[in-house]
Amino acid sequence: MTGYQRVRKTLTFSNPERVPRDLWINIDTISCSKADVEFLLSKYPTDTAYCQLNSDSALPMHKTGSYPGSHIDEWGSLWYVKEAGFIGEVKKPVLSDLGKLGNFKLPWEVIKKRDFSYVNKMCESSEKFMLSEVTARPFERLQFLRGSENAYLDIGYGSKEFRKLLEMIHEFYIEDIRGWCASDVDGIFFMDDWGGAKKLLINPQTWREIFKPLYKDYCEIIHEAKKFAFFHTDGNVEPIFGDLVEVGIDAINSQLFSMDIETLASKYKGKITFWGGMNRQYPSALGVEDDIRRDVMQLRPALDDGQGGVIAQCQWGKDNSRKGVEAFFKGWLEPMLN
């Protein structure tokens, strides 16, 4: 069975012969532990690959983090990255003054200059399930443009300028997703981090009124193109998990160990694919094989009934060991304890 077939059977609850594997890897891990990465991928090949617009390749893992230094992003905000492997932070948001919105221009050239011919070439030559680059992230983009404090105030006050800006962001991401939907990828990857350690970052009802319709639009476009919607969100998002299922997301990558796993499974197993599995609440534990195996064995009775609906996704940071990642993937192949 190919990776594409295995992931598709998982997403449609059609009894894959094993749980698919997906790897996210810190850029510093790749440069510091190249031999370990190659060994791991040879022993536990992934079933997914991530298409790259800026090179003629599709990587068998999703790269995370940035390199140190300052840069201005395509939207005009100034970022600073202190240490390799971290996303960094916005130091000068381009729209810190919302009064400048009238002169703000969306970076449409980013979309117009794209060429999907090499993406399609990689899709044609690969037997893996092919995912797009990260596309829509409206809540995070709002923060990148306005600064986090201003963004939360915008949501609270709901001014017409805020509504206009969010409409502009949404319009851009709709076209972004439509572009990827016209390519040969199998799934569209979008994201927003909505959860804190214990609860949602904003009132759930406010989220439903402002942001839920945006995700519904994205999923409808993706499904009309006969593709699958993959969504990442960090933190405790249990209050809106059912809403994410309702709008049509096919696979959710979330921090399961920050929520009640058994409750999520009882409500949503068979309705969505749980795209995750690593305990990211305690990243250092990824170096302790016994702890990792225990975490996997906690997840599997709740989620892994053999019918599908779960993808074993592991995030490999620069401070984590290869043996820890091996223990994670091995755990999904072992017989479950009674």
Examine the pLDDT at 252 and tell me if it is beyond 50: yes
Res. 330 pLDDT band, cuts 50 70 90: very high
| Integer Cα distance of 231 and 251 in angstroms | 6
Confidence of residue 250 (pLDDT cuts 50, 70, 90): very high
337 occurs within a structural domain: no
What average pLDDT does this structure show over 258-286? Answer: 83
* pTM greater than the 0.85 cutoff: yes
> How confident is the model at residue 284, as a pLDDT?
45
Name the H helices within 248-321: 261-268, 289-303
Give the confidence band of 248 by pLDDT, cuts at 50, 70, 90: very high
User: Is the pLDDT higher at 35 or at 186?
Assistant: 186
Q: Could you list the residue range(s) of the whole structural domain that residue 218 is in? A: 3-64+94-331
In a domain, 135, yes or no: yes
CATH number of the structural domain spanning residue 181: 3.20.20.210
Q: Express as a percent the part of the chain with pLDDT over 90.
A: 80
Residue 148 maps to a domain: yes
Beta strands in the chain (DSSP E): 21-26, 48-51, 58-59, 62-64, 69-72, 78-81, 89-92, 129-134, 187-191, 228-232, 251-253, 273-277, 310-316
| Interatomic CA distance for residues 312 and 16, integer angstroms | 13
| Cβ(72)–Cβ(90) below 8 Å | no
For residue range 57-92, what is the model confidence (pLDDT) as tens digits?
A: 788 999 998 889 999 999 999 999 998 888 899 999
Sheet with 78-81, side-by-side order of all strands: 69-72, 78-81, 89-92
Does 83 reside within a domain? no
Give the 3-state secondary structure percentages of the chain, helix then strand then coil, rounded to 5. 45, 20, 35
**Closest by Cα among 302, 218, 231 to 268:** 302
Q: Look at residue 287 in the predicted model and tell me its pLDDT.
A: 53
Residue 113 or 169, more confident: 169
pLDDT above 70 as % of the chain: 97
Q: Tell me, what's the pLDDT at 321?
A: 84
Whether residue 267 is predicted with pLDDT greater than 90 in this model: the reply is yes
Structure tokens at 262: 């058994």
Would you state the pLDDT for residue 280? 66
Domain count for the chain: 1
- As a whole number, mean pLDDT of residues 119-135 equals 96
The answer to whether residue 75 sits within a structural domain is no
**What type of residue is 307?**
Q
80 within a domain of the structure (yes/no): no
Q: How many CA atoms within 13 Å lie on the side-chain side of 88? A: 21
Residue 33 lies in a domain: yes
Mean pLDDT over 300-328 rounds to: 91
The answer on pLDDT for 103 being more than 50 is: yes
List the single range of 74-78, 270-274, 278-282, 297-301 with lowest mean pLDDT.
278-282
Q: pLDDT averaged over the chain?
A: 93
| 285 pLDDT above the threshold of 60 | no
Does 15 reside within a domain?
yes
